[in-house]
Chain A
């Protein structure tokens, strides 16, 4: 109950009015708190959706090709730069996004053929070194092509508004678009992997690479396609996030750490796990940020709570990861194959 309702209640009682009025006032306050909680959950889900786009590609590549790809964040960055460039050239946000998606897919496949292919079957440390090299390469390449200042991908004006999703809950229109399109992408990905011939090959390739190639399937081409798909997903995440955050060098590096946390929590190689873990991580991060400082203020001074809150809420994700590693080292949804 907040101060205003307490004052209101005192007034009601002093005036010998029906206590029911006071209860109604408390109910309104609680409903307001509930709506605010829903809004914060939407924020968490939106972050989760973005993480899913990154983590899905990462977990596919990690689970199927057994490749640790630190350069996934670079593809996220490339997607955002392509989208900003193409949107400026075509004058249309959607055309820019579609072109950027295709371009990132092609870049991903080219990277696989030129560099990644040589890393299969080698030690994970070689993967880390090789793909870390790619991060440096892409950062410098972007600096050469687009310059150090970064870019912006402006939204169409009709997107600069909040939509009433529930009575009293306003939510930025563009963030709703992110949630909706990612859900569609997740569904398409599920159908692709579980219901199509190529998905079957991907799953078979994950279980037994030699057997699949012995059956006459071009496993090299399959891997190139999977890597391209992962790249396109990362690029999609980058271009969707570009209007919210700015497009800049190294933009994928921080978020990649969260994406790795997601695939560890969800279970490496499992797209379903990535989906659930993304939403969990997104909710913990955002809801923690929104409420922990307020909870701390009950015990601590305002200043200490404001300082401690953000650090504590960012730690919670890693505490969850540590707990998962202790109690379910395979993750929440271990991939069935291995």
Chain B
């Protein structure tokens, strides 16, 4: 039973990880370190820093996010991430789909209960 649950959560998290990154950037541009720590604090998401940086890079390569560097007096240059119009659009589509799915699941639970 534990194995089934573990496998299922892995699949769910895999599907939600990119949406989580896009949602985290919906409101505003974010500093990379801050963005990573925010995602780490989402319970159940099960990510590590080592997982997020490659995903961010892939989203940038695909043109959904863009970056800029800003010099910092306290340490290394800070890297900021923000959504591109394409990123914003795909985030909207993914959220719409997720809401629909969530609603259907809720309906199923209600009828099943």
Chain A complexes with chain B: no
